[in-house]
Amino acid sequence: MRQRLRRTRVRLTLTYVAAFGVLAALAGAGFWLVFAHFEYATVDQALTAQARSIASGLNVDNGAVNFGADVPLPGETTHGIAVTALLVGPTGTIIDQSGGNLHPRPLARVIDRAGPRGTPFSVTLAGHPNRVLVLRVASGHASLVLARPIGELQHTLAETALLLLAIGIGLLVSTAALGYWVAGRALRPVRVMAATVRDISEHDLGRRLGLDMPPGDELGELSATFDAMLSRLETAFDGLRRFTADAAHELRAPLTLMRSQLEVTLRRERTPDEYQASHRILLTELDRLSRTAEQLLLLARADAGALHPRQLPLDVDDFVEEVVTRWLPLAQRQQLHLRTEVQPDGGLVGDPDLLRRCLDNLLDNALRHTPAGGAIVVSAAHQGSWWTLAVDDSGPGIDPALRASVFDRFTRADEARTPTSGGAGLGLSLCRAIAAAHGGDIGLAATDRGARFVVRLPARRTDRSHDRAPGAAGPGALPRGSARFMGHS
């Protein structure tokens, strides 16, 4: 029973019934009170009219009062209900009477209960309920008492109350049945949604509820929300499956190369030079494997919301020059022009290690895709409340078909390159995660030639008197704003 009461349909029905029961009780009580008021008012009007008619024809002679011969003394009402009239003197003696349905003595004793203005009231006489009216007549020397039984009236009121109670119970039962049916109809879409969602698994995320509900309906909105959630889950699971497959592929490739290298090396005795060459190949693959694992770990932390950058003051111009300086030897070997364009306009607050990794990834991407003789420009500018760090290259640019997915994980501009000719396709994804962790973003800007990646970071001015963050510009850094031309080696 308790379990059944927890059902929403039952609780809604009980709420309907309770609310309707209160309203029905108030309406029934109000109707009965109004009906009783009108019934008593009819009796009181009849008694008052009769009393005034009798009082107007009383015979007063030398202080003696009695019913005159011309007084129309009431014997019963027009409906055949007996009426008793009594004249009582100031000392309580009965002067005259009409009608004999009540004993005069008990009736005479109710004079003291009469209101000052002759208001009718109810009293029990000889075990029967009566309506009594007392009027002072003959200048207060006598009292006129009229009484009529109201047992039939009270019986009618009792029958009316029972009828209203029966109607109320019938309406409550009807309301309960109707409320239960309406609640079931209203909650049917919820049951359909629950059954559908219960049957959906991670292998069946393509299903949708697809309920046909009127526009603006709350359950229709809930259904649309469920469908949207399923779409997001489907996209997330598809991305997770692709991510897992790509990650497994990227980790398997260096492991396969390392295993092959070891198998070849161990087939026969090698010279020390051959072992050193084999170990250098293994070290290269280990570096690649470690770099991929570290990138995956950082991306996993970013997905979990656990990538919290340190907040350290950075001089942007010193920071950019320091990062570019480390890439100059590689640019020289590849016969590339590498220069910086930095506004010496304050600094920002961020994590130098993460921001350095972001610029390293962008520079690595530019160096790998820019042919010999090309140019790469790293620029930084302060625009309003933002710093923009941009890396431009003069390479072939990004294929329009890849522009929308260039920041997705394991996306490569050249799918045909070998494991040793490029990265795992995680660098740009990591740049996006680092920018987002700093409250900024990264985008691919439109350009006539090559590719232009722009990182936007919130500008927080810092005092140059602060200590530089670890890894900031030091001895041997490039002069600020200088241009670099790396000739052929």
**Residue 354 backbone class (left: φ over 0; alpha: ψ -120 to 50; beta: rest):** alpha
Q: How far apart are CA 214 and CA 158, in angstroms?
A: 50
CB-based burial label for 10 (10 Å; 0-12, 13-18, 19+)? middle
On whether residue 116 sits in a domain, the answer given is yes
By three-state DSSP, how is residue 155 classified? helix
Residue-level pLDDT at 489: 25
Claim to verify: residue 19 and residue 149 sit in the same structural domain: yes
Q: Which whole-number Å values give the CA distances from 123 to 147, 308, 334, in the listed order? A: 9, 88, 120
Q: Which of 157, 175, 198 is the last residue of a domain?
A: 157
Claim to verify: residue 267 and residue 413 sit in the same structural domain: no
Residue-level pLDDT at 73: 62
Per residue in 170-206, pLDDT (tens digit) is 999 999 999 889 888 888 888 887 887 777 776 677 7
Please indicate whether residue 146 or residue 362 has the higher confidence score (pLDDT): 362
Q: How far apart are CA 165 and CA 163, in angstroms?
A: 5
Q: How far apart are CA 233 and CA 238, in angstroms?
A: 8
- CATH number of the domain enclosing 232: 1.10.287.130
Residues linked to residue 121 through DSSP beta bridges, in sequence order: 132
- CATH number of the domain enclosing 125: 3.30.450
pLDDT at 482 over 60: no
Q: How far apart are CA 307 and CA 309, in angstroms?
A: 6
Q: How far apart are CA 348 and CA 356, in angstroms?
A: 13
Q: How far apart are CA 247 and CA 300, in angstroms?
A: 12
Claim to verify: residue 278 and residue 323 sit in the same structural domain: no
Per residue in 50-88, pLDDT (tens digit) is 888 887 777 776 666 666 655 556 655 556 677 788 788
Claim to verify: residue 292 and residue 325 sit in the same structural domain: no
Claim to verify: residue 347 and residue 281 sit in the same structural domain: no
Per residue in 148-162, pLDDT (tens digit) is 888 889 999 999 999
Q: How far apart are CA 220 and CA 228, in angstroms?
A: 12
Most confident of 73-82, 162-171, 395-404: 162-171
Q: How far apart are CA 148 and CA 446, in angstroms?
A: 105
Q: Which of 282, 303, 324 is the last residue of a domain?
A: 303
pTM: 0.51
Mean pLDDT, rounded, for 314-326: 90
Q: How far apart are CA 319 and CA 256, in angstroms?
A: 39
Claim to verify: residue 227 and residue 327 sit in the same structural domain: no
Confidence of residue 260 (pLDDT cuts 50, 70, 90): confident
Please indicate whether residue 1 or residue 67 has the higher confidence score (pLDDT): 67
Claim to verify: residue 450 and residue 326 sit in the same structural domain: yes
Domain that includes residue 147, residue range: 2-157
Q: How far apart are CA 379 and CA 324, in angstroms?
A: 11
- CATH number of the domain enclosing 435: 3.30.565.10
CB-based burial label for 313 (10 Å; 0-12, 13-18, 19+)? buried
Q: How far apart are CA 77 and CA 50, in angstroms?
A: 10
pLDDT at 398 over 90: no
Q: What's the number of domains the chain is made of?
A: 3
Claim to verify: residue 15 and residue 152 sit in the same structural domain: yes
Residue 464 CB neighbours (<10 A): 12
Claim to verify: residue 296 and residue 320 sit in the same structural domain: no
Residues linked to residue 410 through DSSP beta bridges, in sequence order: none
Q: Which of 303, 325, 346 is the last residue of a domain?
A: 303
Q: How far apart are CA 224 and CA 230, in angstroms?
A: 10
Contacts of 129 (CB under 8 A, 6+ apart): 122, 123, 149, 150, 151, 154
On whether residue 331 sits in a domain, the answer given is yes
Claim to verify: residue 291 and residue 343 sit in the same structural domain: no
Claim to verify: residue 336 and residue 399 sit in the same structural domain: yes
Give 148-156's long-range contacts (Cβ < 8 A, gap of 24+): 148/43, 148/46, 148/47, 148/77, 148/81, 148/82, 148/83, 148/84, 149/81, 149/82, 149/101, 150/43, 150/122, 152/81, 153/39, 153/40, 153/43, 154/129, 156/39
On whether residue 258 sits in a domain, the answer given is yes
Q: Tell me the two tokens of residue 376.
A: 């790469």
Please indicate whether residue 37 or residue 112 has the higher confidence score (pLDDT): 37
Please indicate whether residue 178 or residue 100 has the higher confidence score (pLDDT): 178
Claim to verify: residue 15 and residue 63 sit in the same structural domain: yes
Residue-level pLDDT at 480: 37
DSSP state of 81: -
Under a CB-based contact definition with an 8 Å cutoff, are residues 331 and 394 in contact?
no
Under a CB-based contact definition with an 8 Å cutoff, are residues 210 and 197 in contact?
no
Q: Which whole-number Å values give the CA distances from 477 to 164, 324, 327, 471, in the listed order? A: 98, 9, 12, 11
